[in-house]
């Protein structure tokens, strides 16, 4: 009986397959927070390669392939047009996330890219780390994450000239006015209204995820966004506020 082994070429091919990982790029001016966030991302997403860049020109490197997400932090507003253009040209499949100090103080020119749907997520620094990492996971899976404060700021523009992609859609989800005056602090997407309906029926996140074909982490992000927009702390308050009304019609349900 003879032992058989893989050839050297097969061994090298297998190593190449194993070594190839999708990349998360952090394009940022180096500071302590950028380093800490990069380390946290590396720890959370060990199946991905995390690449730190300080210059936008590095995005043109031919070896920088299979990029799933590009995070932008502390870049001058004047460089955004060229950076966004470079990303869409050389990394068209990559989601773009923007880390900001405060969602209420995003430069108007940068907010315009959100308004046009060219940025897929905005992550304020006051987010809890677990929420931030969950939002990053959502972006990598093709979802979007926008703070209610930023959507409120953009809302007047959509009312004046028609709803724009960043306000109308969350990857195919239509933005609709929240059904109650109590919920007027933000806009709920059709997906959020759908999840809110299930929350009001006492459905657990895991069951909601199964019914809607989502990951449980994605559902958790939606639930947190719902809480923020409704200004509530838990499911009981959300359900109570959703069904509360002052003589007006019953709240609208989710529509296809």
Residue 166, classed as helix, strand or coil, is: helix
Segment 130-138 mean pLDDT? 88
**DSSP E strands, 117-205:** 121-124, 175-177, 187-189
User: pLDDT tens digits for 45-81?
Assistant: 999 999 999 998 899 888 898 999 999 998 888 888 8
Percent of the residues in the chain that have a pLDDT greater than 70, as a whole number: 73
Does the pTM of the predicted model rise above 0.75? no
pLDDT above 80: residue 186? no
Alpha carbon separation from 213 to 21, 145, 206 (Å, rounded):
25, 18, 10
Segment holding 53, helix H or strand E: strand 49-53
Segment 74-103 mean pLDDT? 88
What one-character-per-residue DSSP string does 106-120 give? Answer: --HHHHHHHHTT---
C-beta of residue 131 within 8 angstroms of C-beta of residue 155: no
Mean pLDDT across the chain: 75
> 42 Cβ partners below 8 Å, 6+ apart?
50
User: Of 94 and 179, which is predicted with more confidence?
Assistant: 94
pLDDT above 70: residue 173? no
Percent of the residues in the chain that have a pLDDT greater than 90, as a whole number: 17
Looking at mean pLDDT, say which of 7-11, 45-49, 148-152 comes out highest: 45-49
User: pLDDT tens digits for 29-44?
Assistant: 888 888 888 999 999 9
């Amino acid at each position: 009986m003879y032992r058989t082994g893989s050839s050297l070429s097969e061994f090298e091919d297998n190593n190449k397959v194993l070594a190839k990982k999708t990349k998360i790029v952090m394009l940022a001016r180096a500071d302590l927070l950028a380093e800490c966030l990069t380390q946290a991302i590396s720890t959370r997403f060990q199946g991905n390669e995390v690449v730190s860049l300080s210059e936008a020109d590095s995005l043109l490197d031919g070896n920088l392939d299979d990029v799933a997400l590009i995070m932008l932090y502390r870049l001058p507003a004047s460089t955004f047009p060229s950076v966004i253009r470079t990303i869409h040209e050389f990394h068209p499949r990559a989601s773009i996330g923007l880390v900001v100090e405060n969602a209420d103080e995003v430069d108007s020119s940068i907010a315009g890219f959100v308004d046009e749907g060219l940025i897929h997520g905005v992550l304020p620094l006051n987010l809890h780390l677990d929420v931030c990492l969950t939002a990053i996971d959502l972006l990598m899976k093709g979802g979007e994450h926008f703070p209610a404060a930023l959507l409120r700021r953009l809302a007047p523009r959509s009312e004046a000239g028609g709803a724009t992609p960043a306000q109308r859609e969350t990857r195919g989800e239509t933005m609709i006015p929240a059904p109650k005056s109590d919920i007027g602090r933000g806009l709920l997407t059709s997906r959020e209204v759908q999840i809110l309906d299930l929350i009001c029926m006492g459905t657990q996140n895991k069951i909601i995820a199964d019914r809607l074909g989502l990951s449980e982490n994605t559902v958790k992000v939606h639930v947190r966004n719902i809480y923020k927009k409704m200004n509530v702390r838990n499911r009981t308050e959300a359900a109570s506020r959703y069904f509360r009304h002052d003589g007006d019609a019953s709240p609208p349900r989710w529509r296809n």
